[in-house]
Structure 1
Amino acid sequence: MLKVGSNTGLHECTTFFCHCAELQGSKPATPPGSNPPAVSSSSSLQIRCGSEDLLTRSVLARSLAGRLLHRSSLLRRRRRRVLSVHCLICRTVGPMEDSQEIEKQVQEEVISDNGTEKKQETRDEMLSRHRKEISQLQKKEIEMKKAAARGSKAEQKAKKKQVEDEVTRLSANLKEKHAKELAELGYSSGGNGNEKGNLDSLIKAIAGVSVANQPDRARVSKAQQKRDRRAQQEAEREQRIQAEQSDTISDRTIENEKLEKKLKPLGLTVCEIKPDGHCLYRAVEDQLALLSGGRSPHTYQELREMAAAYMRKNSAEFLPFFLSENLIEDDSDETLAQKFENYCKEVESTALWGGQLELGALTHCLKKHIMIFSGSFPDVEMGKEYKSAAATASLSSSIMLSYHKHAFGLGEHYNSVVPA
């Protein structure tokens, strides 16, 4: 449809009438707004047919333009796909080219080192250079893995496999090169068991030789890792204790002197117990063995379980002391009962230090009178109801412990008190 309500519409109408006139081979028609000449009915029919032809051509032209725009859009999409594939290929091939470059650099460094040092390289110098080359390979492996961790999951999986293969190849080549260089110094892999002639033992002496993805590397189980971690923590604890024993003197010495003055008139002395977090239970175990005249009827672990079970069963008696001795955070979602249950689990299954709560439970479990001597605080008695009438004047049937506040900087400690 033609718009006639504006200057643009008037111009289009004028152009339309001119085209119609050209089709008839006559003069241009008079634009709208002027007095048109008189035309016959046949002339008006011809003009109408010409206008319909022009409209049809206009529709066809628009349709053709739409098709051209659609094809142009398709071409742009195909171009984007080609560019994305090209970028992916560049990212995948990039790490491989970098690995080849690093291999060439290592070879050039080896050649330059051999050129500058024509004199024979010593074993220590060679091992030092080998460590440097292995360190470079490890750094390159990290860079290649970082570069491979881009793109979709499928792309990352494919690039990861390529990086692993490339690292394995570079590691094998480097190991073979090192073996050849060591063989030139007189070390062979087929020795007769002699350590000096055994190439494998010499290669193992190279620090940092462990490169990832080596198939012959033994895997350590999680249980073994946990045991190793505990052993390491125990060794570190022993080292700290020894260091503190040599450093902390004043408070511990004063406390021990006061305790000795208190025990000496009673004919008693302190028996040292291992400070490993189980000291309270180990001291009670030592006292039970002393009272029974041989082996203790309960181990320290069994004493832990007995104390935890008694506290669970009589939680109402222990909860007030639990609240006073333990700081309870307000932002915790656990109830008081849950917190007390978790505490009991720690008592029976970990090396949590024991204190007044556990001593109170043990005196009822064992039905024994417990006497705790201290050089820093007044002596404490627990379970007086279990003290026999015959032994009222003596402590022969009581469990006797010593409490040390300044024994170690790591925390409180309990020892066993025995006859001198």
Structure 2
Amino acid sequence: MNLVKEETVSMKGFTLHGIETLKYKTNTIALKLKSPLQDGTVTKRALLPYVLQSATKNFPSALKLRTRLDDLYGASLNVDVSKKGEFQIITIRMDIANEKYLNEQTPLLEQGLKLMAEILLEPLSENGAFSKAIVDKEKRALKQRIQAIYDDKMRYANMRLIQEMCEGEPYRLNAYGNIEDLDDIDAQSLYDYYKSVLTDDEIDLYIVGDIKVSEVKTIVEKVFRMPDSRSSQIAKTKVSYIPKKIVNVKEIIEEQDVKQGKLHIGCRTNVTYQDDDYFALQVYNGIFGGFSHSKLFINVREKESLAYYAASRFESHKGLLMIMSGIESQNYKKCVDIIKKQLEDMRNGNFTDKEIIQTKAVLKNQILETLDTASGLIEVLYHNVVSEVHRPLEDWITKIDEVTKDEIQAVANKVELDTIYFLKGLEGA
């Protein structure tokens, strides 16, 4: 089964990924910029993509840039910042109509790539700095994004769990940065940081659609003129996965004025995307807490009615498993005990062939659904860049099918409880 044809081409200072497919009527262009998570730059880096998408040299306002996108048959432009393992990733994505399906043969892909190059390489600047008005506006917007995490208690609990579990590790940092850093960032310091990004970041450009990679390469060579300060071959930034030795399980209890307690538990899986048992971990998580037929959902939520929600997810590049549940404060101890029991059951192989078959079917369907969108396809392929391990997409389906009960149990025995975080309501509130 040939799910996708990806062709990679080394360009001057970045890598082009061309994915030829007839599945979509639009073309998707995505820039991925990768750099290690660091205290001193995390907030600047979170702010940068929003400033870049606001204005360019030839389209010096948000209105003019959006008008240009409208002229390109309503192309859409989105930016995001995230973390994968101990890297902070900037994504700039454009979806644009494919001229092959239009009456007019406008060279839309070329014009879209030209605009994308301008967003990255020629943002609006004033006297060697970004526009102060734009930076101030985006600082206010970023402050609101960070504040929204504090207001959404599920997201807040997950952030606090990671801060406590990964104390002293880069992964503790929030991908959106810190509110307290924002006052120290101005148009000049952000522009100086932007210059270092252009010089040092590992950059990958993905183009997905009904395209010819050879033609795309010619266009990209013409419009993406990287600065001379950038090496023709940027060295890949390595962040080694170092297993953490757990001596004692941390227990953190915080009180806030919340109606529903948030019990979030963190485990170390000691398995990452680079490892051969990564697919066994996927099946493990599906049986344990990933889906509606999972042990957490059935035993914590359905049988005992202890939780409003109960689920788990894992981080592929850091080797973490996060268990999330919303509970009444008085059910805290009972809920923790039942979750620990499910972890132990997985270690002891107390799961059925039926559960394995059902989980594999849901996983495979989930993968195929993800690949149905160009953005999902890019995210899956980008795992290979972050991990420096090449896994063809066909392997995902095959390897999941091949996972055995013994392999799931072996993974279960690698999973170690690290931190229990509980956000409880104020007593008597």
Higher percent of residues as strand: 2
TM-score normalised per structure 1: 0.20
Between 1 and 2, higher relative CO (CA 8 Å, sep ≥ 6) is seen in 2
TM-score normalised per structure 2: 0.20
Query: Greater CA radius of gyration, 1 or 2?
Result: 1
Higher percent of residues as helix: 1
